[in-house]
Structure 1
Amino acid sequence: MSETTTEPLFKTRVQDAWVDYNGHMNDAEYARVFSLAVEALMDRVGLDEAGRAEHGYTIYTLETHLCYRQEAHRGEALAVALTLLDSDAKRLHLLFTLTNVDGDTLATSEQMLMGIDVASGRPAPFPEPVAASVEMLPKAGDEWPKAAGRRIGIRR
């Protein structure tokens, strides 16, 4: 089952062009789906095209840790849920969880996002309406999902 119980932030299907020579979704396409989920997040917090223009503000991805759990296949329905792990005035630490229709976790993407003032190209605090929307995102609470905070290494 999925490690988060929130409503999906983003839904899509595995496109034909995303399937590789192994017969399942190519690894790069998982990153595409999570990137599209970041765009859905931006829409949710008021940074859609109109919001970005109004506030002169956007979000950049600083770091991503993508973990593959199960294969996704041609035409399969996918959903991405979001868990806010932490935030401050200009950063979001998030866990995105990609699931299939059965709720099986296919992949996770832990990400650090930074709010950017478009005019200066520099980090800046979230505009007040965006900050208020961020407060409404589903939070991890005291116990983080198991997929969050992992490090890469060969276990010995």
Structure 2
Amino acid sequence: MALLDTDVKPDWVDYNGHMNDAEYARVFSLAVDTLMERIGLDEAGRHRHGYTLYTLETHLRYLREAHQGQPLQVEVALVDRDAKRLHLWFELYSGEQLLATSEQMLMGIDLDSGRPGPFPEAVDTAIAALPVISSPAPEGLGRRIGIVRR
């Protein structure tokens, strides 16, 4: 599902002449904000439901450089979920070229208690409508970090 369309801002470009690694994380964070809006957890929804999402873990892979002014699109698919957690797969594209991926675990938080809690019914329904990762799983999903020794 297409979530976010933006472009590489001038202040996102680093001393190497391409988008800084932190800015890739920013773009994926903006995509999470957009996802929250789409599932009913925009500012009004967070207030109405007394509920929000926290990011528990992120695994970001940098595959290709992005440069100033380059158009960017982020897509998302659901890997797995339970009553209060989302395992998501984000892909960052420029046109047809895959630039980066971000695998994330998000936790639903009841704002009154500050503790994890189940998704509100309307939010749960919206989550159920998200696209699900297709088989076979995309390259990199579930990948662990480490040095391969031969």
Q: Report the Cα offset of residue 142 of structure 1.
A: 4.1
Alignment of 1:73 onto 2:67: yes
**Alignment-derived partner of residue 130 in structure 1:** 123
- 1:66-105 to structure 2, matched below 5 A, reads 66-101=60-95, 103-105=96-98
Specify the alignment match of 2:26 in structure 1. Answer: 32
Q: C-alpha distance in 1, partners of 2:105/2:80?
A: 9
Structure 1 runs (4+) deviating above 2 angstroms are none
Structure 2 residue 117 is the aligned partner of structure 1 residue 117: no
* DSSP-derived class of the 1:99 partner: strand
Q: Gaps spanning 5+ residues in structure 2: where?
A: none
What does residue 10 of structure 2 align with? Answer: 16
The amino acid that maps onto 1:117 is: D
Q: TM-score, normalised by structure 1?
A: 0.93
Match of 1:9, SS?
A: strand
> What is the number of residues matched between the two proteins?
149
Provide the secondary structure at the position in 1 that maps to 2:108.
strand
Superposed CA offset, 1:67-92 (max 9, x none): 00000000111000001000000000
How far does residue 143 in structure 1 lie from its aligned partner after superposition? Answer: 2.7
Structure 1 counterpart of 2:133, from 136, 140, 155: 140
Identity rate, percent: 63
**Aligned-partner Cα distance in 2 for 1:121–1:142:** 36
Q: Quick one: which of 138, 144, 149 aligns to 1:151?
A: 144
Mapping of 1:25-64 within 5 angstroms?
25-64=19-58
- Quote the Cα distance in structure 2 between the aligned partners of 1:58 and 1:28: 24
For normalisation by structure 2, the TM-score amounts to 0.97
Q: Structure 1 unaligned runs (5+)?
A: 1-5
For residues 128-152 of structure 1, give each alpha carbon's deviation from its aligned partner in whole angstroms, at most 9, with x where no partner exists. 0000000000101443212210000
What amino acid sits opposite 2:113 in the alignment?
S
1:35-60 deviation line (CA, Å, top 9, x unaligned): 00000000010000110010000000
Q: Distance in 1 between matches of 2:97 and 2:135?
A: 24
